[in-house]
Structure 1
Amino acid sequence: MTSSRFHKAAVLTSPQEPTAKPTFSIQTLPRPVPGPNELLIRLTVTSLCGSDLGMALGHMGPVGAILGHEGVGHIAGIGSNVPSQDPTVQLGQRVGVAWTRDICGVCRFCVDLAHEGETRCAEALHSGKEAYPGTFAEYTVVPLRYLARIPAAFDGVPDEEIAPILCGGVTAYKAIKGCQVTPGQWVVVSGGGGGVGALAVSFARAMGYRVIAVDAGAAKEGFCRSQGAEHYVDVTSGEDPGKKVREFTDGQGAKAVIVTATAAAAYQQAFDMLGPFGTLMCVSILPEEARATFHPLWMIDNGWTVKGSSVGTRSDILEALEFVKRRVVIPKVQWAQLEEIEELMEKLSRGQLEGKYVMKL
């Protein structure tokens, strides 16, 4: 048991290089102290996101020593300026700690309210980067300006089901919304057996779409179907994935392909799965050298659109949580301890994790 002045954290010890094996050290560190406009959060749980692996491998630029961005906890300390700025903030309130910790509010992205540009703020601060350590720790600090409160309406949703929605879930939900597909039409989720992918399958089904999950290996079919997929395509079977998707859609192809698989081949294959006026939605983050190619005539002749989606706003998080509250989306949670972080990262890199792993803190 750590004293009140210290806390436990998983510290990244491996170099941030694509060929490195992520390693961590469980350390006792001084407990963070909130600044005048910040809040101290005692985290109860954090879940593991695929982006944590990408960050550890250097795919997302320099990071700090403490990763993690799917945390849930309670306010344990209040900065000196907070009461005068927002008297509704109280000790003990439940909050989420997600990827975005703060935004500038004035850049060309933030002021574009029509496109909810805050998710791409040019000056944003993120969990595990810049000034804010991540959620693989017992305590962290958050700025008041971008506090992600969990309203009392969600008191019946446990922490372990909220945590996966803060990044993986809201990313999946927002990507599906961004495709602007009519309910009842076909949506393909590439990487449907992964953490974000499985949530995308579940949200798409709950939102009224017919879902085809695509992933590697026959073993993932049962999981994808349990999340709501009508069909499953195994890219390792030797069959042409595009041909299978057209077969399932009566030759039409899908209205949207959401790529959550972390492979350049998944993006390349997605074009073969699209139907007329379809949307390719980019979600997964690949190494800098990864590339997919296309010919402009593909877009001209087929009316295709290629878009990208980046997490979601705090409002999107609450919208996504409504699905969980109604039990039409239920994250598949596997429990773990912070001390297991290296083993979980290793399995994540091999595509062996099923559902979302949540660590008690």
Structure 2
Amino acid sequence: MSLSYQHHEKSDNPRFEIQNVPLPDLGPNDVLVQLAVTGICGTDFALATGKLGPTRRILGHEGIGRVVALGSSLNKDDIPIGQRVGIAWIRDVCGRCQICLHANGSENPRCLRQLHSGRKFDGTFAQYTIAPARYLMPVPEGLPDEVLAPILCGGITSYKALKNTGATPGAFIAISGAGGGVGALSIQYAKAMGYRVIAVDAGEPKRQFCLDLGAEAYVNVASERDAAGAVKAATQGKGAAAVLVTAGSGAAYNASLNMLAPFGTLVCIGIPPPDQLMSFHPLQFIDFGYRIIGSCTGTQTDLLEAIEFVERGLVKPKTLLAKLDDLNRICRETAQGKVTGKYVIKL
């Protein structure tokens, strides 16, 4: 039997419950992974509301564990028992859809079949899970499980988004939602990659947290009447070369465009509810040359690059350890904006 935390009901206040379930059945090309830890991502709670479409009952997508069994078609010489692996958002790619074919055989995390943890595969809020061997993600030894887990989603998403900005090292990067789990990692990656960081979030308790991570300035949107003006003041009137929106809020997106310098890039990471939309006038793009791009997690190569920053001590995830039965409390705290850093569940 496997202990798992299953999504119980869909609502604005989702609820989870612990259940004992049978070990998942292995297909011939699957591996069974015993998980040691799993990180918690805001996307898990968004999925649990039901507003992002159908889900599996077991969510979670930041798992670290070890291979304990192989499907009948697999060879122990190719995949050793005990191999340390990461179970992330992308569990597989089809290789056949329009996006996969466009990649010419290269890995593309935007596969249209969306073979994601918690969507098409049971997630990592469980002691055991299965993974397709062809997309197995070995991770290096050395780093503690609870340090490595947040890199599987929050870390790689932050790192890939910064790569996608096209900004020159030394430029200002504004991070909206900087005090959250992804935002905190974005500050550290941006600093390590040579950018100057302006942290943007709501509430004074997050100010020192963001400054301690390496931000040069903090803009409190809860008390600042002109957040865009405050960002421009912090950048000596230039504006930011790029704004990363990690906050899941349409209002955050609408406020962020005016923080940009001419020819700046707005990078979309946070996922607002479906009814919260961006509203921009085309003249803003015509006059100032702004770009808007969406950044979607990253490839396995991106992940290994993101892990290297942690191995070198340049990025240090701020983790809070928890147990499976803490998940409902963490869900409430996340919805209230009370969480700074990343929760990691010991399994």
TM-score, shorter chain, exceeding 0.5: yes
Check conservation: 2:95, 2:105, Cα contact below 8 A.
Answer: no
Cα deviation for residue 107 of structure 1 reads 2.0
Whether 2:235 is the aligned partner of 1:268: answer no
1:94 is matched with which residue? 84
Identify the residue that residue 280 of structure 2 maps to in structure 1. 294
* 1:90 aligned counterpart, secondary structure: coil
Query: 2: distance between equivalents of 1:115 and 1:214?
Result: 39
2:145 matches 1:155 = no
Structure 1 spans left out of the alignment, 5+ residues: 1-5
Tell me which residue corresponds to 1:186. Answer: 172
Using the alignment, how far apart are the partners of 1:92 and 1:248 within structure 2? 50
The list of structure 1 runs, each at least 4 consecutive aligned residues, that deviate by more than 6 angstroms after superposition, is 114-117
CA contact (8 A) 2:249 2:273 kept: no
State the aligned residue count. Answer: 347
Letter in 2 for 1:71: G
Structure 1 pair 116/169, CA: closer, same or farther in 2 (3 Å)?
farther
Q: Which moved more, 1:24-33 or 1:200-209?
A: 24-33
8 Å CA contact 2:248–2:273 kept in 1: the answer is: no
Matched residue SS, 1:257 = strand
Name the SS of the counterpart of 2:82 in structure 1: coil
Select the residue among 4, 8, 16 that pairs with 1:9.
Answer: 4
The normalised TM-score by structure 1 is 0.94
Is this contact kept in 2: 1:109–1:117, CA < 8 A?
no
Determine the structure 2 residue equivalent to 1:127: 117
Secondary structure in 2 aligned to 1:251? coil
CA distance in 2, matches of 1:173, 1:222: 23
Q: % of aligned pairs identical?
A: 47
TM-score normalized by the length of structure 2: 0.97
Partner of 1:258: 244
CA-to-aligned-CA distance 1:149-174 (integer Å, 9 cap, x gap): 11xxx322111111000011101110
**What SS class does the counterpart of residue 44 from structure 1 fall into?**
strand
AA at the equivalent of 1:144: A
The answer to whether the 8 Å contact 1:331/1:355 transfers is: yes
Q: Secondary structure at the match of 2:65?
A: strand
- Residue 14 of structure 1: CA displacement? 1.5
Given candidates 185, 189, 204, the residue that maps to 1:203 is 189
- Counterpart position of 1:3: none
Q: Distance in 1 between matches of 2:301 and 2:344?
A: 23
Query: Does the aligned pair in 2 maintain the 1:71–1:163 contact within 8 Å?
Result: yes
Distance 1:145 1:116 in 2: 13
**Which of 38, 56, 59 does residue 30 from structure 2 map onto?**
38
Superposed counterparts of 1:319-334, under 5 Å? 319-334=305-320
Query: Which residue matches 2:95?
Result: 105
In the aligned structure 1, how far is the partner of 2:191 from the partner of 2:258?
22
Question: Which whole-Å CA distance do the structure 2 matches of 1:29 and 1:146 have between them?
Answer: 25
| 1:29 aligned residue | 21
| 2:134 is equivalent to residue 145 of structure 1 | yes
Name which of 158, 162, 179 aligns with 1:172.
158
User: How big is the shift at 1:117?
Assistant: 6.2
Name which of 125, 131, 134 aligns with 1:136.
125
Q: Which amino acid aligns with 1:182?
A: T
Paired position in structure 2 for 1:64: 56
Decide whether the 8 Å contact of 1:46 with 1:69 is kept in 2. Answer: yes
